[in-house]
Amino acid sequence: MVTDTSPLVVDSEIITSSLDDPEKFAVLFDRYAAALYRYISFRLGPGLAEDLVGETFLIAFRRRAAYDISYRDARPWLLGIATKLITGHRRTEVSRYRALERQNPAQPVEGPEEAITRDLTAQGSRTVLLNALALLSRGDRDVLLLVAWSDMTYEEAARALDIPVGTVKSRLNRARRKVRHTLGGVNPLEEHDHG
């Protein structure tokens, strides 16, 4: 018998055994809490992230009996729950992007001219990108950020968000197109007005 914490034990087995022995579910926390914190904190900031990590695991624990154990990796499932929780705080998320957008870029005090130019360009695209994220629709933003952050496949994202794979693809395409558009120098507000 392998121990709970052995990395050889796949997530689905842990979930199954937690039906008999609920405390085993904590192994999933040890595996994924840090990653979930990073994901949530990038979207909502550190203030809410900690509580939502806890919330994600409580929801997952209560729903564990419905987990389809043919999927060994529980990460997409957990990220899906976290994403739905984030959606509930979407105003906070948009405000966060807006606030970051307004922050004055840290100007390099000195240095080679090229470096200054590069920094300013990077800062410029950052601002544009934050603006683009704030303007995306909720569904498009969820798919774009979930996939960009986790590198999950379309199928995994579809399962995580409980939407069809076709919807994942179309949302992702639309979101990417809008973001590229804004990065290409087009006024994102116009894009928004038409979308």
Partner 1 sequence: MDELKTLIGELEHEPPHSLARQRLRLAQETTAAPRDRGWRRLLPFGRHTRLDQPLLSGRRLAMGAAVAAVITAGVAVPLLGDADPAYALTKNQDGSINLKVYDFRDPEHLEKELADWGVPADITYLPLGKSCGNNRAPFLKGDDFGATKEELLSSDAAVQARVRERLEKSISFQAIRPRDGITIYPRHIKPGQIAMIEVMENPVTPTVERPGVAWQFSGRLTTGPIEPCKVVADPEAHHIGDATPPPGS
Residues of this chain that bind partner 1 (CB under 8 A) = 16, 18-23, 25-26, 29-30, 33-34, 37-39, 41-43, 45-46, 49-51, 53-54, 57-58, 61-70, 77, 80-81, 100, 122, 125-126, 129-130, 144-145, 148-149, 159-160, 162, 176, 179, 183
User: What's the closest the beta carbon of residue 126 comes to partner 1, in angstroms?
Assistant: 6
**For the chain, how big is the Rg over CA atoms in Å?**
20
What is the rounded CA–CA span in Å between residue 27 and residue 16? 12
Q: Which is nearer to partner 1, 21 or 190 (CB)?
A: 21
Q: Which is nearer to partner 1, 116 or 163 (CB)?
A: 163
Written as one string, the DSSP assignment of 63-119 is TGGG--TT----HHHHHHHHHHHHHTTHHHHHHHHHHHHHSPP---SS--HHHHHHH
User: What's the closest the beta carbon of residue 113 comes to partner 1, in angstroms?
Assistant: 22
- The position carrying tokens 């990073």 is 38
Q: Which is nearer to partner 1, 45 or 139 (CB)?
A: 45
What is the rounded CA–CA span in Å between residue 33 and residue 194? 39
Q: Which is nearer to partner 1, 41 or 116 (CB)?
A: 41
Residue 21 φ/ψ region, left for φ over 0, alpha for ψ in the -120 to 50 degree band, beta for the rest: beta
User: What's the closest the beta carbon of residue 160 comes to partner 1, in angstroms?
Assistant: 8
User: What's the closest the beta carbon of residue 193 comes to partner 1, in angstroms?
Assistant: 23
Q: Which is nearer to partner 1, 111 or 124 (CB)?
A: 124
Cβ burial of 67 (10 Å; 0-12, 13-18, 19+) is middle
What is the rounded CA–CA span in Å between residue 36 and residue 39? 5
User: What's the closest the beta carbon of residue 129 comes to partner 1, in angstroms?
Assistant: 5
Q: Which is nearer to partner 1, 122 or 138 (CB)?
A: 122
User: What's the closest the beta carbon of residue 88 comes to partner 1, in angstroms?
Assistant: 15
